[in-house]
A and B are shown apart, each in its own frame.
Chain A
Amino acid sequence: MSVEGLLIIGILLSSFLPGVIIFFLREENHLGRSFLNLLGAGIKLILVAVLLWEVYRFPDQVDAIRWSILPGIDLALGADATSILFVTLSSVLWLLTTIYAIGYLEGAPHRSRFFGFFSLCVTATVGIALSANLLTFLVFYELLTVSTYPLVVHRGTAEAMAGGKMYLTYTLIGGAVLLLGVAWLYSLAGSVEFAERGVLDSLVASHSWELKVIFWMLIAAFGVKTALVPLHGWLPRAMVAPAPVSALLHAVAVVKAGAFGIVRIVYDVYGIQTAADLELLHPLAIIASITIVYGSIRALFQDELKKRLAYSTVSQVSYIVLGTAMLGPLATTGGLVHLVHQGILKITLFFGAGNYAETLNIHRVSAMNGIGRRLPLTTIAFSISALGMIGLPPMAGYVSKSYLQAGAIQAGEGWVLWVLGASSLLNAAYFLPILFRAWFLKPPVEWPEERSFGRWETHWMLLVPPLATSVLVLYAGLFAESPFSPLAWVKLIAARESGE
């Protein structure tokens, strides 16, 4: 087996094996569980770094591992530049989220079950990133659905069960549509392997309408997890999950898996040019735009902090879809880079929200007066990301938005500029009041349920991850033009996808 193959196996096993072992650990074995988690996350990070280097050096690697489950139907894993983007994001953020979750769940019941499924969930996410064909993608995509459900309902309350039921209803129906679409595509084209600039050229002439229908089936299926309006209903309800789960759901795993699916379909199955020829891109851009504006408007009216962040996710993830739905390397760059940027921005915000809840039992925006004085470091991290979401320089969000604007002009879709402008204004309208309250209003005399953690404002394991991610936010913005930034990598992908 090639070096790449071994690396990929290692990356999958580094979270799968700890996950399986953790299921069997006794509840009190806190140390063993934390050790396994961090060991797995650390090994994964190292392996991903090596894989990144490999893919950078040899751009034309074919897929590394194949396993035939039926004659002519294979499961295949491999790494291209797009996989690396997603797999790096997931493994970096997984390490931080694991640290956060260990601190967050201290003393909570059923931690072995939690961390077991948590690891499976990450395994599924990196599997999605490393899938080399559509069937493998489907396998990991469904594994993700199944392994996140126990995390969403972890608390076992009536509200959690209802949220979980809704999540599963949406995602399973989405999964069924996906299966039908994929099976149909396979019955037309044989095995669908991901390749730059698409693989369906030869079918366009003879099966044009089938390809169109299949495209919308696949978009609808992925649109559920991406939370495209009107398929977004589950996302705000899934907020009942513990904070690290929400962080992971919103930044890395679930919504990103959907967005990544759309990216794969447009670029590596249909090919952006073929998709444009079939007149599929324009409607997709319109759907994404509607989602962007609708999510922002709904976010304005949420008092519960996590709900506001959830609607903000609905809006922000569609930037990726919007970038994907416009022809031209600049739009591609803007969309793909937002896959990373939205991830680090949103995870910081959720870490912040988790800290407020865990330290002071504050869940509502209206109760956040002066919270910056009690939790200064957390609130600094939160503010950096909120400003980044609005799109202010020099934060990461600015980079994505400017590329999307340039991409819209390049693609000749001038109306998109209005959407982006409106969205920025709305972002400001729902984030700035939070920051204003947090920093400039007087804190209450006494916080409702304050917990003391000694020297630091909160448990150190809850503090380090948001600080680290906010540094990443600044780095990705300030050093965007350096050779070691998400943007630099995305430019590489954009160049390969447009065939230059």
Chain B
Amino acid sequence: MKFKYLGKSYNRPDAINKVTGKAVYLDDLRIPGMLHAAILRPEFAHAEILNIDTSEAETMPGVVKVVTGKDCHYHYGDNIKDLVPMAVDKVRYIGEPVAAAIADTLPHAQAAIEKIKVSYKPLPVYVDARDAMKKDAVLIHKENGEYWHLPTIKATPGTNIAHTYHLKKGAGVDGFKDAEVIIEAEFNYPHGSCTAIEPHGSIVWFKEDNTIEVWSSSICPFIIREDLAHSYGLPVSDVRVRIPDIGGCFGYKSDITVEQTVAWIASFVPGYPVKWVATRQEDFTSTLIAHGIRSRIKVGARKDGKLVAIQNEVIHSGGAYADTAVNITIAATHNCTGPYEFENCDLTGYTVYTNTPAVGAYRGYGHQEAQIAIERMMDLLARKLNMDPIRLREMNYLTEGKVNALGERMWKSHGDILTCSNIVKEKVFTKAKPQEDENYYYGRGFAAAMKSPKGAPFSTKGCYMKMNIDGSVSVSMGGAEVGQGLRTVVRQVAAEALMIPPEKIRVYNEIDTQYSPYEWQTIGSMFTTQGGRAIIRAANRLIAVLKNNAAQVLKTDVDYLEYDGEYVYLRNDPDIRVAVADLSRGYITLDGITIGEYAHAVSDARLPRYANPDENGQGSLGVNYTFGATAAEIRIEKKTGKIIVDKFTSVFDVGQVINPRQIRGSVLGGVTMAVGAALYEKLDIDAEGRINNPHMFKYHIPTYKEAIPMDIEFIETPDAVGPFGARGIGEHSVIGPAPAILNAIYDAVGVDFYEIPVTPDVMKKALEARQEN
């Protein structure tokens, strides 16, 4: 299909604002009368609070109020209400809010919290789920099982297991009896951090009229609104949340994170807006962290390479509060098959309370953490079967008609993984590998990828579209622009749907729950798919209004009329027509009488038939999939053990490219993050639960000189849901790099890794151990 405005690299509508310093982010907001908060964090990762003495802090210069969690009686959370805005009688992780000072300036607030004295009784600390799951482990939440939770959440009271998800497909474990070859291994994807360049922050204002106003660096304004309304007993309409520009998210600004804490603090000074912005250290220790997923995986196959059964235990160190981790566990568990068909699956995921910051979303949402295991297993199995690893994958891909672990039959519109795989094979594996030389070993590795959204049945995205008197159009949505470029997507899709140039479409900047249409939250690489569908629906409704107006003007029935973006005209005689601009506010006749309706439309879109899991963990939990294939070509420096990615190749079936420059940018950034995870990044959490590298100079994210040369290509098998066939791509690029690199390391030096990051030290030690053997 030929499109007029899709497939072209229009500039971002927010580029000029951002390059002139005029884009407004949370910390740039100054509300009249605003006060500043600083938050005290504990000395222990798990301890009872015996006493808090705030008396000296209260006398410090500029201090308006000192706040503790005493008397806080409410819990919050969307899946499990296990969260508290501030520690009440115990602390469960090192970055937890214990007390706060509100002052006229931030330095005054910071000085005041230094004077708060807290005495603790330390408790045993668990940073690894395997320890927290032990029978005699002290309970991090003695209330486990008693908290309000969604009906799909299954806690084990009296343990630290917050949720167990179990999926059985076919004969489950009994399926292994048909296997001729079985392999088992254990993999670990350790805790990391999203590390957006903009830290988290919020402003909360309890107003004298009993309404609440909030500004936050968050992608879920409507959740914040509903959550605060619930906690403070207000109608949802009395809480207003606004989202300014967001300086990167990558997952950890989804779900409710810091907002409830800032609200708790601000609730003590009604009438005053209170601002809190995380220091970089707090952004690491006191917002959501990532991953912490261990897989104990077993795969069975026939000798010809046909996969028959998979068993996996996904053990998720979920952090001190499990509300944000449970769905990641679920996504990791049912997506751990990767893009392969297994007739028999027995998959169990445990979300376990541990004494770290709560684990939350990170670009990829459980997929890379689980698929590192399956993509390594495919190489290990191929080796055991003496097969080419890509050939083994080709035999088992989830192509059209195959059935995934959830029992969902794959449609042609889910995309063509075999073609992606073939392109990568052709690009990377048909040429000779460089020969080992004096300084380097060379290797290359393959990994395929599958990504489903992890939504919720009620997840929807709204679109409000209004036509102005000159025929230009204003579009507002609830989708958060975190850098992914959704404003560009909205503009291009709306242009295509309305058949008017993008230059005549102005896309919203700010989200405001008072004016913006509802959106659950901007997650799961679903904005283009669901939001784009909502745009098309709204555009069709708007065009219908224009046609109805034109029918009255042209004195005919609507079904004789056509619309082309400029005119509504009679199909058989296009000269009988009326300009769209003249229809936009209704049509004004020569005698001044206005007939017809104002041209505006609202719509929304969900995934079709998205469902909760059944008793076997199966159901339409994915609905929409994107597949791809990737390969790493690496070099290992003999002297240092340093791994250099010479080239990373990614091929995805995205259905329809909307903006070539932006989609390349998305994959460039995703691959870079995931290479960071594979080679450098790991939160250094010690046995006491302390995070020892909570700074950018210690937690190393990839730098300019570490940029990776990339070959990125897209194929286009139109999607059934997304606008004009487009599907999601925001997270998919992070899935392949870690397993592809680990597979490449084996190819280079014959060493198998089961855990990341493979830092130069780790690699060097492995090389030395190999020589000793």
A and B: interacting chains: no
Question: Taking beta carbons and an 8 Å cutoff, which residues of B are in contact with A?
Answer: none
